């Protein structure tokens, strides 16, 4: 398996992940994807604070992780933190260590950028995801946390 961070010329990989999205998701989890045209894909992939890591097997993408670098002022994290927005492994390659390898690659990327902390949201009902983050040393600092979505425009 080979893992690399996508760059602005990797629109095709992003397109494959979007076309095959249902195979990387848990049924009933996540939402529909907005198709990204070439310009939008280049913007996402060219953004230095948006990290798209992809695991390839025989040149085929079998797993991905989207993370955003956020500037923080909380004392218990560094000046920047990584928000892991999505992790998905193709349904025929689960339990092979792909997600773990993606998180290890994210740790390596974080170290290179002087970032020490990250966080992710998932659903308590998503047992594989909960097991993955716990096995990676993740903790739930405040079980009382609730997430709200709201419109701003």
42 near ligand COA, rule: CB under 6 A:
no
Tell me which of 3, 14, 45, 99 binds ligand COA, using CB under 6 A. 99
Smallest gap from residue 85 Cβ to ligand COA (A): 9
Check residue 85 for interaction with ligand COA (CB under 6 A).
no
DSSP H/E element including 60? strand 60-71
Distant-in-sequence, close-in-space partners of 135: CB < 8 Å, separation ≥ 6: 100
Residue 6 engages ligand COA in binding (rule: CB under 6 A): no
Question: Which runs of consecutive H residues, i.e. helices, occur in 67-122?
Answer: 98-112
Min CB(82)–ligand COA separation in Å? 14
Partners of residue 5 on adjacent β-strands: 53
- Choice between 5 and 100, CB closer to ligand COA: 100
Query: Residue 146's closest CA among 118, 126, 124, 127?
Result: 124
- Tokens 């970032």 — which residue? 115
Q: Decide if residue 125 touches ligand COA (CB under 6 A).
A: no
**25 contacts ligand COA (rule: CB under 6 A):** yes
- Torsion 123-128-129-133 (CA) sign: positive
List of residues contacting ligand COA (CB under 6 A): 24-26, 29, 87-89, 94-100, 120, 122, 126-129, 131-132, 135
């Amino acid at each position: 398996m080979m893992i690399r961070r996508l760059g602005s010329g990797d629109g095709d990989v992003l397109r494959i992940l979007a076309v095959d999205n249902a195979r990387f998701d848990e049924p009933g989890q996540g939402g529909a994807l907005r198709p990204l045209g070439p310009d939008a894909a280049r913007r996402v992939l060219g953004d230095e604070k948006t990290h798209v890591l992809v695991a390839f097997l025989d040149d085929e993408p079998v797993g991905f992780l989207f993370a955003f670098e956020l500037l923080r002022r909380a004392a218990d994290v560094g000046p920047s933190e990584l928000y892991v927005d999505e992790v998905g492994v193709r349904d025929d390659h689960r339990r092979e260590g792909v997600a773990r390898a993606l998180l290890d690659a994210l740790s390596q990327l974080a170290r290179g950028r002087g970032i020490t902390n990250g966080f992710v949201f998932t659903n308590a009902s998503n047992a594989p995801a909960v097991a993955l983050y716990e096995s990676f040393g993740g903790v739930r600092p405040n079980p009382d946390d609730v997430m709200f979505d709201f419109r701003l425009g």
